[in-house]
Amino acid sequence: MQPWMYVVLLGLVVIVYARFLPKEQMAASGKMTVVQEIEETIEHFAAEMDEQNQSLLDLFSKTKQDYEVELAKLAGRLETLEKQKHELSQELTKVHFKDQGNSAAISTIDLELGQQGAAGEPLTLVEESVYEEAEPVYAGLSMKSRYAELFSLHDQGKGVEAIAKKLGMNKGEVSLILQLSRQEEMTRA
């Protein structure tokens, strides 16, 4: 081979090598660009997650505050209802004992009426008003005796909704009666 051929071959090798060299550098720089884009995407995703977490924490704290305010209102209302229940229970007890006194008076009047009926004398206005039916008083003061039908349905395994529908009551009312009965049993124990 002649020397000029060596020069041509060497030139061709250099040209081919020069063509491949930039492609490798470009491919390497392309890979670096992809890695940078992935890192930027991950950082952006992490930032969005932090923002969403913060908004969830804010929502949770607001909900918790609302819940605490509502709980305080309900506790106050429950306390008021318990006071009213206690007062009504006392009044009911008084009426019950008064009714027992009235039934003794009625039995006395019945005896007198039996005697007056035989004599044919008319009843006086006072005797008629005492003899009229008194307001119904609960025989027992416990919740179970006042709402016997409700508790019999509950003992049969009926749900609150079924009991409410059958008795024509609100579900909340049925739940409240059941809860008050449980509290009443706990205080008696």
Q: What is the pLDDT of residues 46-89, one digit of tens each?
A: 899 999 999 999 999 999 999 999 999 998 899 999 999 888 88
Residue that is written with structure tokens 């030139």 in the block: 11
Q: Name the CA dihedral angle for 27, 31, 37, 40, rounded to a multiple of 10 degrees.
A: -140
Q: What is the mean pLDDT of residues 108-135?
A: 46
Higher pLDDT, 20 or 92: 92
Q: Name the percent of the chain lying above pLDDT 70.
A: 70
Confidence at 93, pLDDT banded by 50, 70, 90: confident
Asked if the model's pLDDT at residue 117 lies above 60, the reply is: no
Asked if the model's pLDDT at residue 115 lies above 60, the reply is: no
Asked if the model's pLDDT at residue 126 lies above 50, the reply is: no
Task: Please give the model's pTM, rounded to 2 decimal places.
Answer: 0.32
Asked if the model's pLDDT at residue 15 lies above 50, the reply is: yes
Confidence at 134, pLDDT banded by 50, 70, 90: very low
Q: What is the mean pLDDT of residues 176-183?
A: 90
What confidence score (pLDDT) does residue 25 get? 55
